[in-house]
């Protein structure tokens, strides 16, 4: 069966995404940078052969926006549920109901995550090395989760805004007698300190995260001198290379 990777993403509306980058970035700049994250993620994950991509979007009315962003081969589905755990469980249900196995979910805060890490998780699940694969983040969460069958109770009653998400998910897995394999830790970009750490790592083109690094440096420089965050020709060029979905 084919592997499915579902990317969880929000519409990059100023003031509603990457707010912890503000200040020093403005709301418009933070939203533009997040859009660049998505572009980098779609490109890198799109390099994985024999793997289908989908994007679970939020809010519910954002499909038109994402139709114009993602390649035509990427499926779109709305995020549905009262909290993140329920939204994740329903996304997994959607993937398995469509006939995919295994199914992975990943966030959109790690624009430089290499596709090789996802492939590593796929090999573990397909070989029967574990029933659950998790990619831990330094902040106590995780950037990737993979399953071979639906387990909605794995994500139930967790405190998603805390620093114990990974720890609590592992407790749930033990309670459910599910075997787990952890992938290499990978840092996400939740705040400005995370962005600074991201910029300390090299991201040569056309590798994962290269657009995000270039744009982040540009936006930080603009913020330092008070330059308005208008779209530049160089940014438009950086966001190229993906054919929209409609």
CATH, residue 186: 3.90.550.10
Rounded to the nearest 10 degrees, how much is the dihedral formed by the CA atoms of 11, 15, 18, 19? -160
Full domain range(s) for residue 201: 3-238
CA–CA separation, 155 vs 169, rounded Å?
7
Percentages helix, strand, coil for the chain (3-state, rounded to 5) are: 40, 15, 45
> For residue 43, is it within any domain?
yes
Percent of the chain with pLDDT over 70: 92
What DSSP state is assigned to residue 131? S
Chain centroid offset of residue 22 CA? 20
More confident residue, 239 or 166: 166
- Greater confidence (37 vs 239) lies with 37
Sheet holding 132-136, edge to edge: 75-78, 51-58, 3-10, 103-106, 142-147, 132-136, 180-182
Residue 243 lies in a domain: no
Q: Is the pLDDT of residue 227 over 80?
A: no
Number of compact structural domains in the chain? 1
What contacts 113, CB < 8 A, 6 or more positions away? 41, 44, 106, 135, 143, 144, 186, 208, 209
Asked if pLDDT for residue 235 goes beyond 80, the answer is no
Q: For residue 232, is pLDDT > 50? A: no
Asked if residue 221 has pLDDT above 90, the reply is yes
Arithmetic mean of pLDDT, 102-112: 98
Per-residue pLDDT of 38-97, as tens digits, reads 999 999 999 999 999 999 999 999 999 999 999 999 999 999 999 999 999 999 999 999
pLDDT the model gives residue 243: 46
Average pLDDT over residues 95-117: 98
Does any domain span residue 244? Answer: no
Tokens of 200: 């300390």
246 within a domain of the structure (yes/no)? no
Pairing of strands 103-106, 132-136: unpaired
User: 154 lies in a domain?
Assistant: yes
pLDDT of residue 230: 42
Distance from C-alpha of 35 to C-alpha of 231, rounded to nearest angstrom: 12
Least confident of 12-21, 108-117, 221-230: 221-230
> What CA–CA distance (Å, rounded) separates 156 from 18?
25
Q: Residue 82: its pLDDT value, please?
A: 93
User: 228: pLDDT confidence band, cut at 50, 70 and 90?
Assistant: low
Q: Contact 106/3 with Cβ under 8 angstroms?
A: no
What pTM, to 2 d.p., does this model score? 0.91
Model confidence at 146: pLDDT above 60:
yes
Backbone angles phi, psi at 75, to 5 degrees: -75, 155
């Amino acid at each position: 069966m084919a592997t499915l990777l579902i990317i969880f993403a929000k519409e990059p509306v100023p003031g509603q995404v990457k707010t912890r980058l503000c200040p020093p970035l403005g709301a418009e700049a933070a939203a533009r940078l997040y859009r660049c994250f998505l572009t980098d993620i779609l490109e890198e994950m799109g390099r994985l052969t024999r793997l289908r991509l989908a994007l679970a979007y939020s809010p519910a009315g954002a499909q038109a926006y994402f139709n114009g962003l993602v390649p035509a081969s990427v499926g779109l589905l709305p995020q549905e549920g009262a909290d993140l755990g329920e939204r994740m469980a329903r996304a997994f249900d959607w993937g398995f109901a469509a006939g995919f196995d295994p199914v992975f979910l990943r966030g959109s805060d790690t624009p430089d995550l290499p596709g090789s890490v996802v492939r590593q998780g796929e090999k573990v699940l397909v070989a029967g090395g574990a029933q659950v694969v998790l990619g831990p983040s330094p902040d106590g969460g995780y950037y990737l989760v993979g399953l071979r069958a639906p387990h909605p109770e794995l994500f139930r009653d967790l405190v998603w805004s805390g620093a114990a998400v990974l720890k609590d998910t592992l407790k749930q897995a033990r309670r459910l007698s599910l075997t787990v394999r952890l992938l290499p830790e990978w840092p996400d970009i939740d705040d400005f300190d995370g962005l600074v750490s991201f910029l300390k790592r090299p991201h040569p083109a056309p590798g994962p995260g290269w657009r995000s690094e270039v744009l982040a440096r540009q936006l930080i420089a603009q913020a330092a001198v008070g330059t308005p965050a208008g779209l530049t020709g160089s940014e438009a060029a950086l966001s190229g290379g993906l054919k929209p979905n409609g």
